[in-house]
């Protein structure tokens, strides 16, 4: 049998990633073990994906049951798990119609194409402008990465899709300067994840909604990272007093199984007639069965309330660490999508904190060079939060003490 180690990555994988030296081989709840048997507490959650931790019994059972029934059909046919999941999403949200894909980028691609199609059908070719926000992130297809407001991700691949502009996040005057009757859609994250764990102000989002309505532009909420309980609401829009026209969801939707979805209204959805868009694996029975189990498990009052209680536990623990070591300027975010923003003395060193945490047996993330990000399981035990924070404190101490 081929020896599997980190060196094999460099031998056979395209070098667009730079993974850690350790290779995880087993997970249970909020704990992970690597090839050497070292245990880690998981505060990363696969970047806000593993909403129920690793190998949650409800997800394992759904996968096993569906795995013995039906694995895949083309979209020439439909299937029961896809219809049940779509019905659950419609019942739980503003939406009336659902489109399934495999990832957040694909869901966002569908949303952007739909917005352009609606504008073309209703107003003509001239209404094509898409406005998004600087430091936003919407995926890695060429369309979505261009709409995302981080040129470093979209530069270097030739001519970009056109009619895309970027406003300043949380700055309504910046949006007012760009939006017009030519705008077909505004795409926004209710909490910028990759851009530094920066929440939108409720008043800002309400003004964005009003501007979209005024200019007959569709409001697209990218809830790929914030959706399925991450903020303590099933979807973050529910806590903002704003209803989007289109919402995208992925990451936690499958609890670790690849799936994405675009949610919208009947009036908007009718513009994607047969043949205008599609996905070979979109609505896959295995993915939909697991996602339905994840959604039903998360969408419970005690789980969603627990997210907010666990947020406070995190905030209290990080504040206590900061009182001792003075490394953070602020702790921001919502629910269990939190960012510890480094102060000027430690600017640019977020990755150092992430690496030191791993050495102490804690999996964490970064969101840019200045923010340490935490996106653990929504049902992580309080004891694991406390132990993980103790490990993180040891990592912080190492950095501070040099």
Binding site membership: which residues? Answer: 104-105, 137, 140, 222-225, 279-280
Measure the CA–CA gap between 82 and 248, rounded to whole angstroms: 16
Q: What CA–CA distance (Å, rounded) separates 242 from 95?
A: 13
Checking 173-178 for CB contacts under 8 A at 24+ apart, the result is 175/131, 175/207, 175/208, 175/211, 176/211, 178/131
Strands 337-342 and 371-374: antiparallel
Binding-site residue positions for pyridoxal 5'-phosphate = 104-105, 137, 222-225, 280
State the CB neighbour count (10 A cutoff) for residue 251: 28
Taking the C-alpha atoms of residue 345 and residue 329, their distance in angstroms, rounded to an integer, is: 10
How many other C-beta atoms can be found within 10 angstroms of the C-beta atom of residue 62? 24
Tokens 């399925």 -> residue: 228
Q: What is the C-alpha to C-alpha distance for residues 329 and 198, in angstroms, rounded to an integer?
A: 14
Kindly state the tokens that stand for 115. 């917005």
- The number of angstroms, rounded, from the C-alpha of 176 to the middle of its chain's C-alpha atoms is 27
First to last CA, the chain: 42
What b-and-e string marks burial along 180-215, b requiring 16 or more CB atoms within 10 Å of the CB? eebbbbbbbbbbbbbbbbbbbeeebbebbbebbeeb
Which residue ranges make up the annotated binding site for N(2)-acetyl-L-ornithine?
Answer: 140, 279
Q: DSSP string of 72-137?
A: ---TTS--HHHHHHHHHHHHHSS-SEEEEESSHHHHHHHHHHHHHHHHHHHH-TT--EEEEEBT--
């Amino acid at each position: 049998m081929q020896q599997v180690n980190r060196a094999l990555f460099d031998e056979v994988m395209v070098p667009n990633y730079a993974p850690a030296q350790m290779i995880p081989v087993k997970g249970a709840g909020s704990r992970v073990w690597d090839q050497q048997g070292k245990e880690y507490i998981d505060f990363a959650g696969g970047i806000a994906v593993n909403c129920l931790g690793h190998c949650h019994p409800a997800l394992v059972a759904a996968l096993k049951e569906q795995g013995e029934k039906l694995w895949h059909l083309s979209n020439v046919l439909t299937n029961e798990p896809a219809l049940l999941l779509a019905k659950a999403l419609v019942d739980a949200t503003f939406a009336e119609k659902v489109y399934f894909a495999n990832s957040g980028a694909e869901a966002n691609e569908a949303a952007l194409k739909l917005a352009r199609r609606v504008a073309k059908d209703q107003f003509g070719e001239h209404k094509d402008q898409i406005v998004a926000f600087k430091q936003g992130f919407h995926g890695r297809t060429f369309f979505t990465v261009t709409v995302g407001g981080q040129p470093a991700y979209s530069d270097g691949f030739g001519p970009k899709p056109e009619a895309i502009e970027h406003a300043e996040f949380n700055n309504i005057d910046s949006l007012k300067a760009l939006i017009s009757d030519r705008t077909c859609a505004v795409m926004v994250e209710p909490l910028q994840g990759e851009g530094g764990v920066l929440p939108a102000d409720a008043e800002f989002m309400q003004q964005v909604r009003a501007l979209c309505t005024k200019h007959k532009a569709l409001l697209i909420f990218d809830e790929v990272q914030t959706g399925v309980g991450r903020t303590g609401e099933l979807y973050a829009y529910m806590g903002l007093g704003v209803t989007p026209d289109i919402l995208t969801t992925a990451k936690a939707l499958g609890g670790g199984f690849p799936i994405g979805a675009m949610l919208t209204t009947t009036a908007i959805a009718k513009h994607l007639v047969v043949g205008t868009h599609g996905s070979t694996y979109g609505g896959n029975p295995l993915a939909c069965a697991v996602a339905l189990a994840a959604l039903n498990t998360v969408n419970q009052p005690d789980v969603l309330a627990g997210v907010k209680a666990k947020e406070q536990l995190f905030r209290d623990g990080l504040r206590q660490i900061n009182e001792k070591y003075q490394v953070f300027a602020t702790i921001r975010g919502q629910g269990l999508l939190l960012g510890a923003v480094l102060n000027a003395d430690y600017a640019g060193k977020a990755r150092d904190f992430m690496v030191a945490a791993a050495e102490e047996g804690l999996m964490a993330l970064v969101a840019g060079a200045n923010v340490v990000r935490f996106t653990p399981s929504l049902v992580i035990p309080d004891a694991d939060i406390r132990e993980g924070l103790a490990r993180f404190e040891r990592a912080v101490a190492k950095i501070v003490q040099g």
